[in-house]
Amino acid sequence: MRAAVSIGLTVVATAVAMVALGDNAYPWVKAVHVIAIISWMAGMLYLPRLFIYHCEADKGSKQSETFKVMERRLLQVIINPAMVVSWVLGLWLAWTAGYFNQGWFHAKLMLVLALSGVHGYFSAAVRAFAHDRNTKSARHWRIVNEVPTLLMIGIVVLVIVRPF
Ligand code: HEM
Task: Give yes or no for residue 29 CB within 6 A of ligand 1.
Answer: no
CA 47 from centroid of its chain's CA atoms = 11
pTM of structure: 0.92
In percent, how much of the chain has pLDDT > 90?
84
Q: Show the domain range for 67.
A: 2-161
CA distance 164 to 151: 18
Q: How many domains does the chain have?
A: 1
Q: What separation in Å is there between the alpha carbon of 33 and the centre of ligand 1?
A: 7
Cβ–ligand 1 distance for 86 under 6 Å, the answer yes
Q: Return the axis-axis angle of helices 80-97 and 25-56, rounded to nearest 10°.
A: 150
Mean pLDDT of the chain: 94
Q: Tell me what pLDDT residue 17 has.
A: 78
Asked whether 64 and 57 are in contact (CB, 8 A), the reply is yes
CA of residue 159 to ligand 1 center, whole Å: 6
pLDDT band at 23 (very low <50, low <70, confident <90, very high): confident
